[in-house]
Amino acid sequence: MQFDKIIAQEQVKRRLRELVQNNRLSHALLFLGKEGSGALPLAIAFAQYILCEKANPAVKSENAVSLFGGEEPESALLYNEDSCGVCASCIKVNQLIHPDLHFSYPTLKKDTRHDKVVSTDFISEWREFIQQFPYNNVADWINFLKENSKSKIENPINKQGNITVFECDDISHKLSLKSFESPYKILIMWMPEFLGASGNKLLKLIEEPPPDTLFIFVAEDESAILPTILSRTQLIKIPSLSNANVEKALIKNYSVQPEIATQIAVISEGNFREALLLLQTPEEDLLLKVREWLNVTVKNSVNAQIKWIDEISRTGREKQKQFLKYFIHLVEQAIRVQYLNEEDLGSIPEGERDFGLRLNKMCSIEAQEAIVKELDNAIYYIERNAHAKMLFHSLTIRFLHIIKDNSLILVH
C-alpha cells in the first residue's frame, strides 16, 4: 500500500517522511484517528515506505543506516516521496506477507481448550480483511472473523475481541529474532484499546527495543489506551477526512455520480467507512425525499403527510439520521446561495442550488436557522430511541409553523 493510495492526509504523509529524512523517528508511534480516517492503511503505507528497496536503499545494504537518530553518512537514504510499489519488499508488504512486518490485533478465544490465542492464528483472515476493507472498524473485523474464520468460531468466549497476554509474549518472541530480509522490523498493533493490563509486559520492549525495531500503534480512543504505553509513544494525529476528500475519492475510485457522491460525503461526515456502507445500500435520491417532505408540509395535505411519515418511519434509525443530516446540509447550502456571487454558485451542485433558491423564497434566514435547530434536536432524539412516527409528525407540524406562520420560537 503506497501513500498515493491513501485518501488525502497530505500533511500527515509529509510529516512522516520528514521524521525519517531528519532521523527524528521514535521507536514507538501512535497513529490516532477516528473511525474511517484511514489510520490503519496509512500505517501500512508508512511501513512499506520504510521497507521499500528503492525509497530506502539501506534495506538491501549490509551497513544499514539507523532510522532512529544518530549521524547520517552521505550514502544514507535516498528519500523519495513514496515507496516504489514494484520492488520485492513493496510487493510483499502490499500482500501483507513481508517477514519483517508483523501485525497484532484483537482476536477471539475459540473455547476453553484453546487459551493461547495469538494474532498469527488468524493471519489469513486478517490479510483477506485488510485487502477488502482497509477502512473498516474493529466490530467489522470481529464479525468478519466469526463468519470467515477457518477455525469455525461459532460461540467465542470473548465476543468483543481481546489482545491477550499470550499475544504479548508472542510479540516479544518475534521481535527478539533477527530480521529476515530488511534491517528493520516493524510491528503494527491495531486497536491497542483492547490491550488489558497484560500490555505492561511490553513496556520494557517498547522503551528499549532491539536495534532498528519500530512499533506503530493504531488507535481511535486515546483515553482507552494503557497510560504506561501512551507515555512511551510519539503521537501522530490523523484528522478526519473532509467532505471534499470523501466526495473526490468516491468519484475517482468508485465511479460514483457527483450528485450521489456529494450526498454520501455530507452524511458520512469524514468517515470513509460510513461512506462505503452507504454505497452498498440501494440508491435513493435524498434530495427528492426532502422536496417531497416540504411539499406535503406546506400544502398541509394530511393524508400525504401520513403516507410520507409511514415510509420514513420504516427505514430504521441510521437511515433517518442520515436523511436529517443531509437536510441540514441542504439548508446550509441555501444560506450560502444567498451570499455567493454568480461565479461561485457553480461550486454548488445544480439540484442543491435549485433547492436553495426555492427555500430562500419560502422562508427567511431566521426561519432556516430554526429548521436546522429542529433537525439537530431530532437527530439527538433518534439516537435515544424516540418513536419515529411521533417524531416526524411533530417535525412536520413545526416546519409548517416555521414556514407559513413565521413562528420561530416553539414550545418543546
What are the residue boundaries of the structural domains of the chain, listed by start? 3-240, 284-404
Cα–Cα distance between 242 and 256 in angstroms, integer? 17
* Backbone torsions φ then ψ of 237, nearest 5 degrees: -80, 130
Cα–Cα distance between 214 and 28 in angstroms, integer? 6
Provide mean pLDDT across the span 53-73: 60
Write down the mean pLDDT value for the chain: 87
Single pTM value for the model: 0.78
Give the pLDDT band (50/70/90) at residue 377: very high
Cα–Cα distance between 303 and 309 in angstroms, integer? 10
DSSP tally for the chain: helices H, then strands E: 17, 5
Q: What fold does the segment set 3-240 form as a domain?
A: Rossmann fold (3.40.50)
User: What is the predicted pLDDT for the residue at 173?
Assistant: 94
Cα–Cα distance between 256 and 278 in angstroms, integer? 12
Q: Is the pLDDT of residue 67 over 50?
A: yes
Task: Give residue 328's Cα distance to chain centre.
Answer: 22
The answer to whether 272 and 246 have CB atoms below 8 angstroms apart is yes
Percent of the chain with pLDDT over 90: 60
241 DSSP assignment: P
- The string of pLDDT tens digits covering residues 175-221 is 999 889 888 999 999 999 999 888 999 999 999 999 889 999 999 99
Give the pLDDT band (50/70/90) at residue 155: low
Q: Is the pLDDT of residue 222 over 60?
A: yes
Q: The cell 521524521 sits on which residue?
A: 19
Q: Is the pLDDT of residue 16 over 90?
A: yes
User: What is the predicted pLDDT for the residue at 150?
Assistant: 58
Q: Is the pLDDT of residue 409 over 70?
A: no
- The string of pLDDT tens digits covering residues 112-131 is 556 688 999 999 999 999 99
| Surface-to-core class of residue 10, CB atoms within 10 Å of its CB (0-12 exposed, 13-18 middle, 19+ buried) | exposed
Length of the chain, please?
412
Grouping H, G, I as helix, E, B as strand and the rest as coil, residue 201 is helix
User: What is the predicted pLDDT for the residue at 68?
Assistant: 64
> Under the phi-then-psi rule, with left for phi > 0, alpha for psi from -120 to 50, and beta for the rest, what region is 185?
beta
Q: Strand order in 213-219's β-sheet?
A: 101-104, 185-190, 213-219, 28-33, 234-238
- The string of pLDDT tens digits covering residues 329-373 is 999 999 988 888 777 777 788 888 899 999 999 888 999 999 999
The answer to whether 119 and 81 have CB atoms below 8 angstroms apart is no
Residue 104 in grid coordinates:
497484532
CB burial of 297-326 (b: ≥16 within 10 Å; e: otherwise) equals: beeeeeeebeebbeebbeeeeebbbbbbbb
User: What is the predicted pLDDT for the residue at 407?
Assistant: 58
Grouping H, G, I as helix, E, B as strand and the rest as coil, residue 285 is coil
Q: Is the pLDDT of residue 157 over 70?
A: no
- The string of pLDDT tens digits covering residues 249-273 is 999 999 998 888 888 898 888 999 9
- Class of domain 284-404 as given by CATH: mainly alpha
Percent of the chain with pLDDT over 70: 88
The answer to whether 50 and 19 have CB atoms below 8 angstroms apart is no
Any idea which of 136-140, 148-152, 289-293 has the lowest mean pLDDT? 148-152
